[in-house]
Amino acid sequence: MSPAGPHPRTLTVARIVGALLVLAAGGIHLFLVLTGAGGLLGVTFVLNFIAGLVLGVGMLVAPRRFLLAVTVLALLFMVASLVALALALTLTVGLLGVQPGWDYPLIRETAIIESIGVVVLVAATVIAWRDRRAGLTPRR
Domain boundaries, the chain: 8-136
If you average pLDDT over every residue of the chain, what do you get? Answer: 86
Read off the pLDDT band of 139 (50, 70, 90): low
Read off the pLDDT band of 1 (50, 70, 90): very low
Rounded Cα distance between 74 and 54, Å, is: 9
The pTM is what? 0.83
pLDDT at residue 52 in the model? 96
Task: Label residue 34 left, alpha or beta by phi (over 0 means left) and psi (-120 to 50 means alpha).
Answer: alpha
Please answer whether residues 52 and 92 qualify as being in contact, where contact means their C-beta atoms are separated by less than 8 angstroms: no
Cα 34-120-37 angle, rounded to 5 deg = 15
pLDDT at residue 65 in the model? 86
Q: What is the four-CA torsion angle of 101, 104, 109, 114, rounded to 10 degrees?
A: -60
Rounded Cα distance between 77 and 102, Å, is: 22
The mean pLDDT value for 9-17 works out to 90
Rounded Cα distance between 51 and 77, Å, is: 8
Taking only the tens place, the pLDDT of each residue in 35-87 is: 987 788 889 899 999 999 999 999 999 998 899 999 999 999 999 999 988 88
The mean pLDDT value for 120-137 works out to 86
- pLDDT at residue 136 greater than cutoff 90: no
The mean pLDDT value for 80-99 works out to 76
Q: List 98's β-bridge partners, or say none.
A: 95
Listed ranges 43-47, 115-119, 124-128; the one with the highest mean pLDDT:
115-119
pLDDT at residue 110 in the model? 92
Nearest to 16 by CA among 113, 124, 111: 124
Select the more confidently predicted residue: 84 or 96.
84
